[in-house]
Amino acid sequence: MLEDKSIGLILSGGGVRGMAHIGLIKAMREHQIEAKVVAGTSIGALVGALYANDNSVEDMLKFFKETPLFQYSFFAINKPGFIDTERYFNIFKHFFPENDFKNLKRPLFVVATDLLKGTEKVFYDGELIKPLLASAALPPVFSPVTIDGVLYADGGIMNNFPKEYVDHITDYTIGSNVSITVPLEKKDLRNSFQLTARVTSLMIHASNHEKMMECDLFIEPSELETIGVLDKKGIENAFNIGYEHGSRALERLLAKT
């Protein structure tokens, strides 16, 4: 069914839960399905870049397991944010030594937020690493990234599911959303942090729900809700959840042919 289709892969933001994207990619490869082009935000941009670079699933997981989220020497000084995002540059350089979009094996669209203009910015050519860092710079934990004198931060602020960048160049879309919104109990909203997280989650989901539903194939595993956005202990669990959901979705699709 998909042999003659040009496939676009869309990967949302969502922190450590984004390891489910890698699980989906594993399932796709096991079914001999490859995307022609990728669009991603935040963790989705990072996974998308590794996929566009033709890295193995094992190397993708290794990248996230070995990259420190919180390291004393990375603490920000005279910058907004707790962690200096640009300190990760050399770690990323090891995986992307050419540091250029044109050296990837397939086109990649990376979404970040221009904090000065308050607008969405998509990167797809030129320098690769700084746009990736910017797309994943979740405020207030990670500091914004400066590119050509402009401060950029997490793309999920403006567009957490950038489907529109693949629509015009593909005829079949596969989406993975890991910014999960599930019903809560009253006890789950006891403090300002929980309330802020809930409101942010609802706003992001509402603004992207329609695009998600337009995908030809789509996964949104509710089990990811139990995994903390910045909890590296959840890497394997999120990966396995994504693999299971991706496998089932693809098997259902292929059973129809």
Residue 50 to residue 244: CA distance in whole angstroms:
21
Whole-number pLDDT of residue 116: 95
pLDDT digits (tens, 9 = 90+) for 164-223: 999 999 999 999 999 877 677 788 788 876 676 677 667 777 777 888 889 999 999 999
Radius of gyration of the chain (CA): 17
In terms of pLDDT, which residue wins out, 205 or 161? 161
Residue with tokens 């221009």: 114
Position 257 confidence tier, pLDDT thresholds 50, 70, 90? low
CATH superfamily, domain 2-255, is Cytosolic phospholipase A2 catalytic domain (3.40.1090.10)
Per-residue pLDDT for 161 more than 80? yes
pLDDT digits (tens, 9 = 90+) for 83-136: 888 888 998 999 999 999 999 999 999 999 999 999 999 999 999 999 999 999
Position 231 confidence tier, pLDDT thresholds 50, 70, 90? confident
In terms of pLDDT, which residue wins out, 207 or 20? 20
**CA count, 13 A, side-chain hemisphere, 226:** 6
Whole-number pLDDT of residue 225: 84
pTM given for the model: 0.91
CB 171 within 8 A of CB 6: yes
Per-residue pLDDT for 33 more than 70? yes
CB 114 within 8 A of CB 134: no
Whole-number pLDDT of residue 164: 96
Per-residue pLDDT for 71 more than 60? no
Position 54 confidence tier, pLDDT thresholds 50, 70, 90? very high
Across residues 214-238, what is the average pLDDT? 90
- Other C-beta atoms closer than 10 Å to the C-beta of 46 total 26
Residue 6 to residue 165: CA distance in whole angstroms:
14
The number of angstroms, rounded, from the C-alpha of 196 to the middle of its chain's C-alpha atoms is 21
Highest average pLDDT, of 1-5, 26-30, 70-74, 230-234, comes from: 26-30
Q: What is the mean pLDDT of the chain?
A: 90
Point out the residues that are catalytic: 42, 154
Residue with tokens 């590794």: 50
Whole-number pLDDT of residue 203: 73
CB 99 within 8 A of CB 70: no
